[in-house]
Structure formats: C-alpha cells, structure tokens
Amino acid sequence: MKKFSFISLFLILSLVLAACGSSEGENAGGGEEGKVYKVGVDTTYPPFEFKEGGEYKGIDIDLIKAIAKNQGFEIELKPMDFGGIIPALQAGELDIAIAGMSITDKRKKVVDFSDPYFDAGLSLVVKEGNSEIKSVDDLKGKTVAVKKGTTGATYALENKDKLGIELTQFNDSPSMFQEVANGNADALIEDYPVIAYAIKQKDLGLEIVGDRLNGDQYGIAVLKGENKDVLEKINKGLAELKESGKYDEILKTYLGE
Ligand code: GLN
C-alpha cells in the first residue's frame, strides 16, 4: 500500500510538472529557441483590442494570435497607452506592436511596418445634436480632444493654426469620448472604425460628421531593421490567413457581415 501511494504521488507530480511546462506563452508551437515575442497593444481600443471577462479580445488580438500560430512563434501581450508603444519598441521592451496603428512616413523612420491589414481613416466627431459643426471648417475657436501620439493628434497639431482650434490631449480613447459627451470639448478626432463601433455598441451621445479626413491604413510594427525575420513571418502569416479565409472570419466576429 505504501509503495502504491509513493508511485501515485510520483505520477501526479510528473503530470503537474508536464502541464506547467507546456502552458507557457500563448501557444505551444515551437518558437525560435523558445523566444516569446512581446507584443504591444493599446489598453482599450475596441473592436481592435479590449478586455472582456479578464481576457484580451479583438481583431488585433485574434489576428496576431493566428499569425503566431500559423508561423510557429510565441507571443505575450503587453497592453499600454498608445503613446507609449513606439517608445517601448525603441527601448527594446517590445518586439512587435499591433494597436490599430496607422502606417505613416514619420513612423517609418523608426519602425518597419507589415503589409497593411485594415483600412481606417480619421473622422471628426461631435456631441449628438450639435448643429453648428458640420466639418473641420466649422472648428474656429473650438476645443478639439485628441489622443496622445495618434495620427488624430498629429492631424490636429498640424492644422491647429489653420483651423483656429485649441487642443486637449488624452491617454486613452474612452476619456476622450467622455470629454466631448459631457461638453468639455467641442469635437474629437478618432479612427472611423473605432468610433463607428463605439457608437453602435453604446449610447455614447456622440455622432460622426462629414467625410473621413484621410485614408489611414493599419500595419503591424517592429523596430526598424531589428526584426526582419519576424516581420517576414508576420507578412507570410497575414497572407496565408487572408488566403484561408481566417482573416475574414476574424473581421466578421467583431464587425458582423
Ligand atoms: N490609428 C491611430 C494611430 O495610429 C490611432 C491608434 C490608436 O489609438 N490605437 O495613431
């Protein structure tokens, strides 16, 4: 009897150890020498990334997980304020960033982008029922809320004098939405798919005005010149997911038909 319990204990211990060993990282695919790539994502940017039931979800999250699985590398998600993502890549704290990040020439000086994976574009947004502001030309003397480090903030900064606006900057999108909904700012600039999704999901008391201000496209970023091998895998994975229908399936999960 004694011998039996000793053997059982040994078996149980082995099982526990085996289970621990295989649960590291986001998937069990054989990565490069077991390297786990750190992936920077925005804190909250539905439908691209958001936390639900203690878990990160969204188009960006599903996409990078599917790419990693397809290409056999492992990832660890690192949510942070959008404005901190490129600096974290530069500091070597991240290997990859997927955060509804627009491909811009300015960013291309410090990061390499994957092929584009989503067409976004900026929109002007006002409090619901605002009949005064129909386009950016009606912003003279108005306060515009933007999110730090985004292309929306860059647009507002570059056109500040021409449009005659004051700026107020936020770290995350929900705080920026709140500012306009409660009347502290007159308008905000946000990516079209994000604000359209937010308005559809909840009664935010906001509305989109006019046409999109530009044709921003999203790309997955890695530090310039440093991660060519992983960038190649990302592009290959992305192409394969588009080919197999998995990419469309992910989009459909969050955006519907
Ligand atoms: N697409 C915008 C940018 O790249 C906003 C991204 C975001 O807020 N996560 O700047």
**CATH code (residue 129):** 3.40.190.10
Q: Cα(42) to centroid of ligand 1, in Å?
A: 9
- Do 235 and 194 belong together in one domain? no
Residues 5-18 as b or e (16 or more Cβ within 10 Å = b): eeeeeeeeeeeeee
Compare 72 and 35 and report the one with higher pLDDT: 72
Please tell me the distance from the alpha carbon of residue 26 to that of residue 33, in angstroms, as a whole number: 15
Q: Cα(81) to centroid of ligand 1, in Å?
A: 10
Q: Cα(99) to centroid of ligand 1, in Å?
A: 7
Is residue 103 in a domain? Answer: yes
Q: What average pLDDT does the segment 180-186 reach? A: 97
**Element spanning 143, H or E:** strand 143-147
- Do 58 and 108 belong together in one domain? yes
Cα-flanking dihedrals φ and ψ of residue 79, to 5°?
-70, 135
- Do 153 and 205 belong together in one domain? yes
Of ligand 1's listed atoms, the one at least distance from the Cα of 99 is 9
- Do 39 and 72 belong together in one domain? yes
* Mean predicted lDDT score pLDDT of the chain: 91
Q: Taking 90 as the threshold, does the pLDDT of residue 68 lie above it? A: yes
Q: What average pLDDT does the segment 169-187 reach? A: 97
Is residue 22 in a domain? Answer: no
- Do 250 and 133 belong together in one domain? no
- CB of 233 closer than 6 A to ligand 1? no
> How many residues in total does the chain contain?
257
Q: What is the pLDDT of residues 140-161, one digit of tens each?
A: 999 999 999 999 999 999 999 9
- Do 169 and 90 belong together in one domain? no
Q: What average pLDDT does the segment 222-240 reach? A: 96
Q: Would you say 147 and 82 are in contact if contact means Cβ atoms under 8 Å apart? A: yes
Q: Residue type at 41? A: V
Q: Residue type at 234? A: I
Q: Cα(155) to centroid of ligand 1, in Å?
A: 12
Please tell me the distance from the alpha carbon of residue 49 to that of residue 248, in angstroms, as a whole number: 17
Q: What are the DSSP calls for 152-196, one per residue?
A: HHHHHHHTHHHHT-EEEEESSHHHHHHHHHTTSSSEEEEEHHHHH
The answer for residues whose C-beta is within 8 angstroms of residue 81's C-beta and 6 or more apart is 42, 43, 148, 171, 172
Considering its fold, how many domains does the chain have in total? 2
Is residue 247 in a domain? Answer: yes
What range does the domain containing 203 cover? 122-209
- Do 169 and 128 belong together in one domain? yes
- Do 198 and 249 belong together in one domain? no
- Do 167 and 228 belong together in one domain? no
114 three-state secondary structure: coil
